[in-house]
Amino acid sequence: MYFNSKAASRITGLSFRQIDYWDRTHFIKPSVSEASGYGSFRLYSFNDLIQLKVAKTLMDKGISLQKIRKAITYLKKNMPEIERPLAELSFLTDGETIFVLTKDRKTIIDTLKNGQLVFSIALGKIIEELKGEVSTLQKEKIYKVTVKGKAYSVVLHPDTQDGGYWIECPSLPGCASQGDTVEEALEMIRDAIKGHLEVLKEEKKLRKVS
């Protein structure tokens, strides 16, 4: 599945502005679809989300964006078989330097001997956390809305590609709507239910006449 910028922001904890800046400066670009003008959306893959989250984690540990860029440039030059270092490698950092975890553990041992505090950027853990965030985002939520004195159960579905939500009323087949926010989606489904009930009322009248 794919994720727009809004969904990527909610899942990774990065601000929309930061994601936008990283795209425009060619740091981490969406691999599925780039914004190509007004009304278009960036679409990120799950691997893109991993890169965003790893970069955020490194920055949270005190590594500057400039140092991360340099590390990626070095890795792409010296490890050309790795297409997306941030999504495929495990990292260690002491807040100053970025180490790549490989089969040769000498670098790690030397770092520990120097008495520096090393933070492990565990890729597996990050992937599992992202999966959990994606799962939470995808979960349907059931609400109750009241129309003309009667309560209806409605199901809210997050739209990770186009943004916002789409919402349906299962007891009225075909009755659905959408909104940019939960509140807007609930208001829109109320209107949709009213319209649906009016149509059913008219159809019932026509059946009686015929």
Q: Which of 79, 114, 134 is the last residue of a domain?
A: 134
Domain count, the chain: 2
What is the residue range of 107's domain?
5-134
Q: What is the CATH number of the domain that holds 96?
A: 1.10.1660.10
Pair (28, 127) in one structural domain:
yes
Q: Which of 134, 154, 183 is the last residue of a domain?
A: 134
33-77 residue pLDDT tens: 886 665 567 899 999 999 999 999 989 988 888 888 888 888 888
Write down the H helix ranges in the chain.
5-12, 16-24, 46-60, 65-78, 85-88, 106-113, 123-138, 182-209
129-163 residue pLDDT tens: 898 888 877 778 899 999 989 999 999 988 776 67
